[in-house]
Amino acid sequence: NAGVTQTPKFQVLKTGQSMTLQCAQDMNHEYMSWYRQDPGMGLRLIHYSVGAGITDQGEVPNGYNVSRSTTEDFPLRLLSAAPSQTSVYFCASSLGQHYNEQFFGPGTRLTVL
């Protein structure tokens, strides 16, 4: 099993550009989520999904869109990048909403100039 994979590892954007951060898992996990981590801080939840076709907002959803068309993939879209979105983004998955042993990907470091 590859576990949770994220691409790209690093990305630099200019203000106003859009892009999609990819997240995939091969563990047949129902629950997937996206977090962001700013320097010296803990992780904050952006969006989450309890299964294919179902998504919901987390603590800091503004400026981000998600969709879940398959169990395996949970992409995070930045519609119009802003410097405040400079952060490290982590994707996580678990068997289900009620299982809090979550598996995290290696992260994507995003810089918005």
Residue 89 · residue 110 · CB < 8 Å: yes
Q: What is the Cα–Cα distance from 87 to 11, expressed in whole angstroms? A: 10
Does 107 help bind another protein (rule: CB under 8 A)?
Answer: yes
Residue 21 · residue 9 · CB < 8 Å: no
Task: Pick one of 20, 69, 84, 97: the residue that binds another protein (CB under 8 A).
Answer: 97
- Supply 69's token pair: 């068309």
Does 34 help bind another protein (rule: CB under 8 A)?
Answer: no
- Supply 14's token pair: 């200019």
Does 45 help bind another protein (rule: CB under 8 A)?
Answer: yes
* Binding segment toward another protein, per CB under 8 A, in 17-25, 45-53, 69-77, 79-87: 45-53
Does 48 help bind another protein (rule: CB under 8 A)?
Answer: yes
- The nearest distance, CB 79 to another protein, in angstroms, is 23
Q: What is the widest separation between alpha-carbon atoms in the chain?
A: 39
Q: Name, in order, each residue with C-beta under 8 angstroms of 101's C-beta and a sequence gap of 6 or more.
A: 94, 95
Does 103 help bind another protein (rule: CB under 8 A)?
Answer: yes
Chain positions contacting another protein, by CB under 8 A: 4, 31, 33, 35, 41-45, 48, 50, 58-59, 88, 90, 92, 94, 96-107
